[in-house]
């Protein structure tokens, strides 16, 4: 049967105490709703319809590029009312899979199982057994174990509150019949809302089969209503991601201290120490070693690269066997050939560095192109900004830059040149020459240091 997926996402999320609509709160670096949407897309339904309301423009803008249909629910009068708004856009011969914008950890596999249970004309309901069912709607079954009703926590008797089987909110319903059932909903309950859950008892009364599927892993269905649940969901997601990375071939020093907010591809025998954070799209080659507390975003590191502790690496491409850090900051537009070495407190921005070149201590290189086997001494700074414009520095092969050099761009330093320590270089340097640009040293003989007693 053809399938339409409806994602209910209009709620305000009062319990978040936030200016951001709940479904846009970040989980693993992207919005809660984007996770639901990705799972819905993977299922291959004919169309996806998002019911939005609170913070509407922000929500739509976030998903501008997705091919989804939007239904606006002006007032949030309950989940039943929300689904009703979407019905005019759904063909009557479709099955409708209902997902919640605030239940983001549900997997494709579990939804496929639910869809298998769904029979023509009937309802399939995804339930879960929780040791602590507090806050969720409870599933009532009759003596022959058939589902007969869902009671919301706020409307439940103390006996009903003892029931551990809960409604996940996710279900499959027939589009044709749901029109009639929704008309019968009333808001005569503790919250004064039109509960979608009430269609269960209505359908049962009509003799419609309601089949339950109990989810295997209850972690998948946690609803995010406040920041405590958001943090729980984040940890569950990170644990899942850590497992995927380990299966790909990386050893994690501690999967509990691994954070990925984006995508990470790893080769074989990669090692990732504690506290590393990966953002955007990152690729690590074979045997790459990432030290503790490194932050790496949108970068590709070749085989056998070593990133030591406390590095910040953003928008970088590095060839094989590069050694980076500790405490290096590599900024966007930086490209290293193989065997480049960057040591502590070195910042590199929009620069290319050739095979085997080194800058081991305390330097700033911006808009710079360095050839092969060049050595940049400690404390070297490219003065690339004149207050208005940025200028390039081009440094050849086998150049030796002495410590503490100021290289005032635009500047070209040819192959094999040597720069004396402490020089301020303002003019191009020809091949294989020595450039020294510092005031000569003077010696004052018999110099007496001032002292307090001689006053």
* Cβ proximity to ligand UD1, 36 vs 395, nearer residue: 36
| By the rule CB under 5 A, 227 interacts with Ca ion | no
Does the active-site annotation cover 361?
yes
| By the rule CB under 6 A, 367 interacts with ligand UD1 | no
Instruction: For residues 452 and 215, give the distance between their C-alpha atoms in angstroms, rounded to a whole number.
Output: 83
Structure tokens, 353: 């560095």
User: By CB under 6 A, which span of 75-83, 265-273, 375-383, 387-395 interacts with ligand UD1?
Assistant: 75-83
Q: Which helix or strand (DSSP H or E) is residue 101 part of?
A: none
* Residue whose structure tokens are 């984006």: 262
Residue selected from 168, 297, 357, 368 as contacting ligand UD1 according to rule CB under 6 A: 168
Strand, coil or helix: 264: strand
Encoded one letter per residue, x for contact with Ca ion by CB under 5 A and - for no contact, window 252-291 reads ----------------------------------------
| By the rule CB under 6 A, 114 interacts with ligand UD1 | no
* Cβ proximity to Ca ion, 136 vs 258, nearer residue: 136
Site residues (CB under 6 A) for ligand UD1, limited to 88-107: 100-103
| By the rule CB under 6 A, 76 interacts with ligand UD1 | yes
| By the rule CB under 5 A, 76 interacts with Ca ion | no
| By the rule CB under 6 A, 212 interacts with ligand UD1 | no
Q: Residue 91, Cβ neighbours under 10 Å: how many?
A: 12
CA–CA distances in Å: residue 147 to residues 140, 156, 325? 6, 16, 60
Output the DSSP codes for 270-325: EEE-TTEEEEEEEEE-TT-EE-TT-EEES-EE-TT-EE-TT-EEESEEE-TT-EE-
Closest separation in Å from C-beta 151 to ligand UD1: 8
Instruction: For residues 307 and 324, give the distance between their C-alpha atoms in angstroms, rounded to a whole number.
Output: 5
Closest separation in Å from C-beta 166 to ligand UD1: 5
| By the rule CB under 6 A, 84 interacts with ligand UD1 | no
Number of residues that bind Ca ion (CB under 5 A): 3
Q: What angle do CA 159, 210, 4 make, to 5 degrees?
A: 120
**Nearest residue to ligand UD1, by Cβ distance, number only:** 137
Radius of gyration over alpha carbons of the chain, in Å? Answer: 31
* Residue whose structure tokens are 């002292």: 451
* Cβ proximity to ligand UD1, 101 vs 174, nearer residue: 101
User: Who contacts 122 (Cβ-Cβ below 8 Å, separation ≥6)?
Assistant: 174, 208, 209, 210, 211
Instruction: For residues 336 and 217, give the distance between their C-alpha atoms in angstroms, rounded to a whole number.
Output: 45
Residue 15 burial (10 A CB sphere; 0-12, 13-18, 19+):
middle
* Residue whose structure tokens are 């700033």: 364
Instruction: For residues 204 and 73, give the distance between their C-alpha atoms in angstroms, rounded to a whole number.
Output: 28
User: Who contacts 324 (Cβ-Cβ below 8 Å, separation ≥6)?
Assistant: 305, 306, 307, 308, 311, 313, 318, 330, 341, 342
Site residues (CB under 6 A) for ligand UD1, limited to 148-167: 150, 152, 166-167
Q: Which helix or strand (DSSP H or E) is residue 340 part of?
A: none
* Cβ proximity to ligand UD1, 152 vs 219, nearer residue: 152
Residue selected from 40, 50, 51, 177 as contacting ligand UD1 according to rule CB under 6 A: 51
Strand, coil or helix: 86: helix
* Cβ proximity to ligand UD1, 195 vs 278, nearer residue: 195
| By the rule CB under 6 A, 174 interacts with ligand UD1 | no
Quick one: what does residue 354 bind among Ca ion, ligand UD1, none, with the CB cut-off 5 to 8 Å set by partner type? none
Residue selected from 68, 87, 223, 344 as contacting Ca ion according to rule CB under 5 A: 223
Instruction: For residues 205 and 444, give the distance between their C-alpha atoms in angstroms, rounded to a whole number.
Output: 107
| By the rule CB under 6 A, 197 interacts with ligand UD1 | yes
User: Who contacts 83 (Cβ-Cβ below 8 Å, separation ≥6)?
Assistant: 6, 8, 51, 96, 98, 178, 182, 196
| By the rule CB under 6 A, 21 interacts with ligand UD1 | no
Closest separation in Å from C-beta 42 to ligand UD1: 19
| By the rule CB under 6 A, 79 interacts with ligand UD1 | yes
Quick one: what does residue 168 bind among ligand UD1, Ca ion, none, with the CB cut-off 5 to 8 Å set by partner type? ligand UD1
Residue selected from 16, 37, 50, 77 as contacting ligand UD1 according to rule CB under 6 A: 77
Encoded one letter per residue, x for contact with ligand UD1 by CB under 6 A and - for no contact, window 123-142 reads -------------xx-----
| By the rule CB under 6 A, 16 interacts with ligand UD1 | no
What's 440's DSSP letter? P
Site residues (CB under 5 A) for Ca ion, limited to 95-114: 102
Catalytic residue among 54, 179, 310, 361: 361
| By the rule CB under 5 A, 229 interacts with Ca ion | no
Closest separation in Å from C-beta 22 to ligand UD1: 7
| Chain residues in the site for ligand UD1 (CB under 6 A) | 8-11, 51, 73, 76-79, 81-82, 100-103, 136-137, 150, 152, 166-169, 195-197, 223, 225
Q: Which residues are catalytic?
A: 361
| Chain residues in the site for Ca ion (CB under 5 A) | 102, 223, 225
């Amino acid at each position: 049967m053809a399938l339409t997926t409806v994602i209910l996402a209009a709620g305000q999320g009062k319990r978040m105490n936030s200016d951001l609509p709940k479904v846009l709160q970040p989980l693993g670096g992207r919005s809660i709703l984007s996770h639901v949407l990705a799972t819905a897309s993977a299922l291959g339904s004919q169309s996806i319809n998002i019911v939005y309301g609170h913070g509407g423009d922000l929500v739509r803008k976030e998903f501008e590029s997705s091919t989804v249909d939007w239904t606006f629910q002006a007032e949030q009068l309950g989940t039943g009312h929300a689904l009703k708004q979407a019905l005019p856009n759904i063909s009557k011969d479709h099955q409708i899979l209902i997902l919640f914008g605030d239940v983001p950890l549900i997997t494709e596999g579990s939804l496929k199982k639910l869809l298998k249970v769904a029979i023509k004309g009937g309802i399939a309901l995804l339930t879960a057994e929780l040791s602590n069912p507090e806050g969720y709607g409870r599933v009532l079954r009759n003596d022959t174990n058939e589902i007969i009703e869902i009671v919301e926590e706020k409307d439940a008797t103390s006996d009903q509150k003892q029931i551990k089987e809960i409604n996940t909110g996710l279900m499959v319903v027939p589009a044709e019949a749901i029109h009639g059932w929704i008309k019968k909903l009333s808001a005569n309950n503790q919250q004064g809302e039109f509960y979608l859950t009430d269609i269960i008892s209505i359908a049962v009364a009509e003799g419609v089969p309601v089949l339950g599927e109990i989810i295997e892993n209850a972690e998948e269905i946690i609803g995010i209503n406040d920041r405590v649940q958001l943090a729980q969901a984040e940890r569950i997601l990170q644990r899942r991601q850590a497992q995927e990375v380990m299966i790909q071939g990386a050893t994690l020093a501690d999967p509990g201290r691994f954070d990925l907010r984006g995508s990470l591809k790893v080769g074989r025998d990669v090692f990732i120490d504690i506290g590393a954070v990966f953002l955007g799209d990152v690729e690590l080659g074979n045997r790459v070693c990432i030290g503790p507390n490194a932050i790496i975003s949108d970068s590709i590191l070749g085989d056998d690269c070593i990133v030591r502790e406390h590095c910040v690496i953003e928008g970088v491409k590095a060839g094989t066997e590069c050694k980076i850090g500790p405490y290096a900051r590599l900024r966007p537009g930086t490209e290293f050939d193989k065997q480049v070495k960057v040591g502590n407190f070195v910042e590199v921005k929009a620069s290319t560095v050739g095979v085997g070149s080194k800058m081991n201590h305390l330097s700033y290189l911006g808009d710079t192109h360095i050839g092969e086997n060049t050595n940049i001494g400690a404390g070297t700074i490219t003065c690339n900004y004149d207050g208005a414009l940025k200028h390039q520095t081009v440094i050849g092969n086998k150049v030796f830059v002495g410590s503490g050099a100021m290289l005032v761009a635009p500047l070209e330093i040819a192959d094999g040149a040597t720069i004396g320590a402490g020089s301020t270089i303002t003019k191009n340097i020809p091949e294989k020459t020595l450039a020294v640009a510092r005031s000569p040293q003077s010696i004052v003989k018999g110099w007496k240091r001032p002292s307090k007693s001689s006053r």
